[in-house]
Amino acid sequence: MDRGLHQQTMETRLPGRSGSLQTLTRMACLALCLATLTTPVFSQAILEGERFHPASAHNGMVATSHTLATEVALKVLKDGGNAVDAAVTAGFALAVTQPRSGNIGGGGFMLISKGDGSAPEAIDYREKAPSAATETMYQDESGNVIQNRSRFTHLAAGVPGTVAGLAMALERHGTLSLKQALAPAIELAREGFIVPQRFSEGLEQARERLQRWPATQATFYKKDGSAWKAGERFRQPELATTLQRIADEGVKGFYQGETAQLIVEEMERHGGLITRQDLIDYQPIVRAPVHGNYRGYDIYSMSPPSSGGAHIVQILNILEGFPIRELGHNSADTIHYMAEAMKLAYADRSEYLGDTDYVDVPLKGLTSKPYAEQLRQGIKQDKARPASDIRPGQPPGYESPETTHFSVVDKWGNAVSNTYTINFSYGSGITVEGAGFLLNNEMDDFSAKPGVPNAYGLIGGEANKVEPGKRMLSSMSPTIVRKDNRNFLVTGSPGGSRIITTTLQVIMNVIDHDMNIQTAVNAPRIHHQWLPDQIRIEQGVSTDTVRLLEGRGHKVVTNSAMGAIQSIMIGEDGTLYGGADPRRSTSSAMGY
Ligand code: DON
């Protein structure tokens, strides 16, 4: 793609004339150029921004949802480490500075795409159901779902994968030792850090849920029960010791020995299911990412047990048949087509997606162009299809057989896109006594009963039922876009069911709407997930547009901020542009 060439082309077409004639000629040429351009070209303004300026640098860029994590990861790059070293360091640091979503008690996915053009790989460190888990464990005797059981009890926790996943990434691609990657996190936990406003507000909001558990109260609140205030120093000595055990003993320092013992005792005291053997058995898995192509760009995103990659590619495939660029960003037409495509994808998600180690997922069919073409035929230009008219489609042939995201690019062009989570803000709210970290409530991402929605309103079926040792379906979508075999865009977001659509829109904002990365990240977003049958919009979509959508039969509701996408774009000349999401006040992108 001709990024960076537009201005140059205009200048070279205008040899030395002077004064107003030159100005007029320039204007005429500009109008002509704009009118006749069928193939988009990208100006420097698009890369660097006129509306919202991205961070820019040449040797390395980190975008995370917490400045302190960004800083320690950037230091790794400056000291000669690569993107994986920096990502793992950020991952452990966020587990300290952002306990509501950064985690060692949860799991996630890391996508790695090297600068040498070799095939990208995904590390799946999603939590697993304990071996004693059963299909009906969240139902009462009459088969009704007991909602809180999969959310706020010890039964809500899957076997954590983060420590094993980050260690595996480092072992396969890093140059630092685990001890080195953990050092900044241990220091932040031991010496403490100054609490930002958002940290304090989060603890206030979750007070009732968190203070039910004495270890959570003791870890995250002051002795008198009040939350740490902005500007105060917050220390986590127990977490520092837990992290130190990993630094000293490696992965075994978490999955065996003292920390494992503390987790198992926590489970035994409260009727949880995770056993010593479950912890010993936990293994991250190297997977091939889902691969698609959108308007000439290669899209790599997370494969099952995430639904993210499959549906980002599926929605893009459907939308490729519409002239999105001409229809314009967040116009009624564009939002209409996006919503119609999203509905179809989320309907398929409910039926087909699950852990491929347990169920067959028709991934090839779902992400194929002919299937998208077939789905596109059913989309009307002037009328919303009610969700009740939509059923999961028939993708061809089964193949034989509060989350946080960060993105890193180093000076060799290596890119890492990582999303990990403990599910809700503060996960289950349960802190492992003596170990100082929160347990996830990821089991709620399984379908507690076919057809009963989870906390994000997502419906799941047989493919995502609870089974021992199975990974619960996710929407997390760490994504890397390549152009001509070079890393181009590194992106991903939290946001539960909205992760897929958030990530999708940043990709489209860049590819279809020529936005620089910061503008693409900031732009108001929309979301449809089939059920409930409504388009959710952020503030900033015009009232006229909403009226036009309603006129086509859409129900439109205004939602609070959706997602917190941390992205990096790489210019043709290798310049790195960072776009941190202002929806999270602590987000930052920094380069050097
Ligand atoms: O894996 C998933 O799809 C969810 N557990 C993610 C949760 C999430 O993004 C919450 N963050 N805001």
Distance from the alpha carbon of residue 382 to the mean position of ligand 1, in angstroms = 33
pLDDT score for 3: 30
Identify which of 205, 476, 493 to mutate to test ligand 1's pocket (most ligand atoms within 8 A of the CB).
476
**Location of each CATH 3.60.20.40 domain in the chain:** 290-400+476-582
Write out pLDDT tens, residues 487-506.
999 999 999 999 999 999 99
178-191 and 83-97 are packed helices; what angle lies between their axes, rounded to 10 degrees?
30
Q: What is the DSSP letter of 484?
A: T
CA of 257 to the centre of ligand 1 (A): 30
- Segment 119-131 shows an average pLDDT of 98
Q: Which residues contact 377 (CB under 8 A, 6 or more apart)?
A: none
pLDDT of residue 404: 95
Lowest mean pLDDT among 111-115, 334-338, 391-395: 391-395
Cis peptide before 305 (omega within 30 of 0): yes
| Protein residue closest via CA to atom 8 of ligand 1 | 496
Does 312 score more than 70 pLDDT?
yes
Q: Which of 322-336, 396-410, 414-428, 459-473 has the lowest mean pLDDT?
A: 396-410
Tens-digit pLDDT profile for residues 192-204 = 999 999 999 999 9
pLDDT reading at 30 higher than 90 = no
Would you tell me how many other CB atoms lie within 10 Å of the CB of residue 360?
Answer: 13
CA 292 – CA 310 distance, rounded (Å): 9
Query: Looking at the predicted structure, is the pLDDT value of residue 46 above 90?
Result: no
pLDDT given at position 435: 98
Share of the chain above pLDDT 90, in %: 88
* Residues marked as catalytic: 403
Does the pLDDT value for residue 7 go beyond 50?
no
Which superfamily is assigned to 290-400+476-582 in CATH?
Answer: Gamma-glutamyltranspeptidase, small (S) subunit (3.60.20.40)
The answer, yes or no, to whether any atom of ligand 1 lies below 6 A from the CB of 423, is yes
Ligand 1 atom closest to Cα of residue 126: 1
What is the value of pTM for the model shown?
0.91
> What percent of the chain lies above the pLDDT cut of 70?
91
Question: Does residue 185 have its Cβ closer than 6 Å to ligand 1?
Answer: no
Question: Model confidence at 102, in pLDDT bands (50, 70, 90)?
Answer: confident
Is residue 400's pLDDT more than 70?
no
Q: Provide mean pLDDT across the span 89-103.
A: 95
Q: What is the pLDDT of residues 253-287, one digit of tens each?
A: 999 999 999 999 999 999 999 999 999 999 999 99
Instruction: Report which secondary-structure segment, H or E, holds 271.
Output: none
**Does 423 have pLDDT greater than 70?**
yes
The CA 455 to ligand 1 mean position distance, Å, reads 10
Q: Please tell me if the CB atom of residue 407 comes closer than 6 angstroms to any atom of ligand 1.
A: no
Distance 167 CA to ligand 1 centre (A): 22
Q: Which range among 14-28, 161-175, 305-319 shows the weakest confidence by mean pLDDT?
A: 14-28
Ligand 1 binding pocket includes 106 (Cβ within 6 Å) = no
Question: Do the strands 297-301 and 290-294 form a parallel or antiparallel pair, or are they unpaired?
Answer: antiparallel
Determine which residue's CA is closest to atom 10 belonging to ligand 1. Answer: 402
CA gap 27, 30 in Å, rounded: 5
Q: What pLDDT is recorded for position 45?
A: 58
The whole-number average pLDDT for the span 559-565 is: 94
Identify whether the C-beta of residue 333 lies closer than 8 Å to the C-beta of residue 552.
no
Question: Which pLDDT score, from 0 to 100, does residue 47 have?
Answer: 66
Average pLDDT, the chain: 91
Q: Ligand 1 pocket check: which of 125, 471, 499 to mutate, most ligand atoms within 8 Å of Cβ?
A: 499
How large is the angle between the packed helices 237-249 and 257-270, nearest 10 degrees? 130
For residue 145, which phi and psi values (nearest 5 degrees)? -75, 130
Query: pLDDT class for 399, splitting at 50, 70, 90?
Result: very low
